[in-house]
Structure 1
Amino acid sequence: MRQIFFDTETTGLQAEGGDRIIEIGCVEMINRQLTGNNLHLYINPQRASHEDALRVHGLTEAFLSDKPLFAQIAEQLLGFLAGAELVIHNAPFDIGFVNAELKRLRKPPITDVVGSVRDTLLMARDMFPGKANSLDALCRRLEVDNSNRKLHGALLDAELLAEVYIRLTRGQDSLVMDDAGEAGSDSNEFRVAALDLRGFDLPVPQASADELAAHEKVLLELDKASGGKRIWKAPEQISA
């Protein structure tokens, strides 16, 4: 199965309000193996980013001024994504922005091009209800190294998402290849020999006289408080 881990950076939060895509990161995985066939694009949005967005991604208007317009990279992007399953963290956000860009070019929505869309935020909410499930939070919880994530970047975030997805789906522990060239192979599994516990003489500690007296005192207090309705009685009391 071909999957594309997909992320965007944008000038702001409102696709329908005129905010634009400025960066796209796509990381390809086939049958749960990274291929290295990735796509990374910077895009000139022809407008400035909001201050809050700029603090997140750090991509200035000057840096993006000589980058291609979305119209110039649209066919390259659609060709790369065609037929794949898109894996996105908070998919409605990125899909909304891509569809807004495609609408400007009078093209059909991205869901007409890709095979399907999987939202890892929904997956994480099902697995960890009531907990923080941002990409950073999942990296911490699933022990994915995101120490290089000083600013948000579409390609880096897509790479982190691929590692998070593998751990969320429990198919293997990591995307790192072992010496045999196959991730998650049996050769790397840690095996423990079975033990016959019948050969162990386990000690059985006995209560001291003081402990038994204290226990009996508690039982008598319970008996008094319940009006003689205490259920748990000593064997000699039951036989009597």
Structure 2
Amino acid sequence: MRQIVLDTETTGLNPRSGDRVIEIGCVELINRQLTGNNFHRYINPERDSEEGALAVHGLTTEFLSDKPKFGEIADELRDYVGGAEVIIHNAPFDLGFLNAEFGRLKVPSFNQHIASVIDTLIQAKEMHPGKRNSLDALCDRYGVSNTHRKLHGALLDAELLADVYLAMTRGQNSLSMDLGDDDAEAGSEHAAALPLADIIVLAATAEELAVHEALLDGLDKAVKGRCVWRANAG
């Protein structure tokens, strides 16, 4: 299964008022494994960022002035995400911007090039109701280090979200349960092909067993009888 974790940075909050995409970062997962086949582009939005947005991402008009326009990278982006399941935190925001950019080019919307969307914000709210579920909060909750995140950056945030998503869904192969027969059969064949790791059993040494017995003797003495570990040993 091919999944793309995606994030964008923008000039502001509303594509309907003319705000534009200025950075796209994507991280590829295949069968829940990071492949390193990432996609990252800065984009010239042909306008200034709003003051609040600039404080978040730090991408100045001067820095973006020599970067390609969205129309110059649209085909490349479309080919990269084509047919994949896309994972986004607060998906309506990013999809609204991407669909607006594709609309300006008068081509099929971004949504029409992908298989489906997983919104990790919705899932986090279901898993942790009443708690903060920003990307930073989820990094803290799942032990994903974000100490190097001083400003928002699309690729960095996509990489963090990929780690968070894998931690959130550990033990699951997919959030979708409606696999077709072909997909289910392919998944079974893949699982069957995976080698089973040898189980390594390390027996305690005589010295370690003696230390253990001495510890239990001390516990027996403390409770004036048989400690719970001896009582349940049989």
CA offset digits 1:181-216 (Å, max 9, x no partner)? xxxx9679999x9xxxxx9859389xxxxxxxxxxx
Aligned partner letter, 2:157: D
The runs of at least 4 consecutive aligned structure 1 residues that moved more than 2 Å come to 185-191, 199-205
Alignment partners' CA distance in 2, 1:110 and 1:22:
16
| Counterpart for residue 32 of structure 2 | 32
Long gaps (5+) in structure 2: 173-195, 205-216, 226-234
Aligned partner letter, 2:161: L
CA offset digits 1:94-137 (Å, max 9, x no partner)? 00000000110111121211011000000100110000000000
| Counterpart for residue 80 of structure 1 | 80
Larger radius of gyration: 1
Post-superposition shift, 1:80? 0.2
What count of residue pairs does the alignment treat as equivalent? 190
Kindly report which structure 2 residues correspond to 1:167-178, keeping only aligned pairs within 5 A, or say none: 167-171=167-171
Alignment partners' CA distance in 1, 2:41 and 2:70:
10
Q: TM-score, normalised by structure 1?
A: 0.73
Aligned partner letter, 1:37: N
Aligned partner letter, 2:131: K
| Counterpart for residue 15 of structure 1 | 15
CA offset digits 1:120-170 (Å, max 9, x no partner)? 000100110000000000001111000110000000000000000010002
| Counterpart for residue 223 of structure 2 | 203
Aligned partner letter, 1:169: T
CA offset digits 1:45-66 (Å, max 9, x no partner)? 0000000000000000000000
Kindly report which structure 2 residues correspond to 1:3-152, keeping only aligned pairs within 5 A, or say none: 3-152=3-152
- Check if 1:161 corresponds to 2:181: no
| Counterpart for residue 179 of structure 2 | none
Please report the RMSD computed on the Cα atoms of aligned residues, expressed in angstroms.
2.8
Q: TM-score, normalised by structure 2?
A: 0.75
Post-superposition shift, 1:171? 3.0
Aligned partner letter, 1:97: F
Answer 1 or 2: which has greater helix percent: 2
Relative to structure 1, is the Cα distance of residues 190 and 3 closer, same or farther in structure 2, using a 3 angstrom cutoff?
Answer: farther
